[in-house]
Amino acid sequence: MRKTVIAALLTLSVVSAFAQEGGRTPQAASVKTPDSRAHVLTREELDKLLARPQDLLVIDVRRPDEVSKIGGLPVYLSIQLNDLEKSLAWIPRGRTIITVSNHAKRAGTAADLLASKGFKVAGAAGVQTYEQEGGKLTKIVPPPTPSTANAAPAPGP
């Protein structure tokens, strides 16, 4: 009797799980919808835009430590995503804007905000994705920190 009840409960839970899936395939269940409406630029699209720097403004929304560890594009305006809306007044409106983050998620959010405020936005780019696709990043080497062992002793009174 006990085995029959356990078997019935197991069968019921399996049937319930399949019913909740509603006939979806496992792949369809895992597909994510985009968090942003911004176009994510390919390496080719980004290179084409970067070839005309006089028409372009690159806004990098990453933290400074991310830029120094990973690298970035040679010229950019650094505004972290949380500060972007407060900075709208001094972002030039006469240029096409590309927003940049590591994999374009934050850049997409930034691009959506800028587009909603009337800026001309070409799209969002992820620098790590760009580099994986063969694009070249500018690596930033921070200056060495002064060593206390090499420092001269402070003059005494």
DSSP string, 96-147: EEEEEESSSHHHHHHHHHHHHTT--EEEEEEHHHHHHTTPPPBP--PPPPPP
**Section 32-37 average pLDDT:** 65
Q: Does the predicted model carry a pTM greater than 0.75? A: no
Q: What angle do CA 80, 43, 76 make, to 5 degrees?
A: 30
Question: What residue has token string 């200056």?
Answer: 143
Buried/exposed 86-106: b ≥16 CB within 10 Å, e otherwise:
eeeeebeeebebbbbbbbbbb
pLDDT tens for 61-87 read 999 899 989 999 988 899 999 999 999
Q: Across the chain, what does the average pLDDT equal? A: 78
In this predicted structure, what is the pLDDT of residue 20?
36
Superfamily, domain 43-132 = Rhodanese-like domain (3.40.250.10)
In this predicted structure, what is the pLDDT of residue 153?
58
In this predicted structure, what is the pLDDT of residue 154?
57
pLDDT confidence band for 3 (50 / 70 / 90): very low
- What one-character DSSP code corresponds to residue 85? G
Contact 92, 59 (CB under 8 A): no
Structure tokens at 40: 């994510």
**Integer Cα distance of 150 and 18 in angstroms:** 69
In this predicted structure, what is the pLDDT of residue 56?
95
**Section 120-140 average pLDDT:** 93
Reduced to 3 states, what is the DSSP secondary structure of residue 77? Answer: strand
In this predicted structure, what is the pLDDT of residue 36?
86
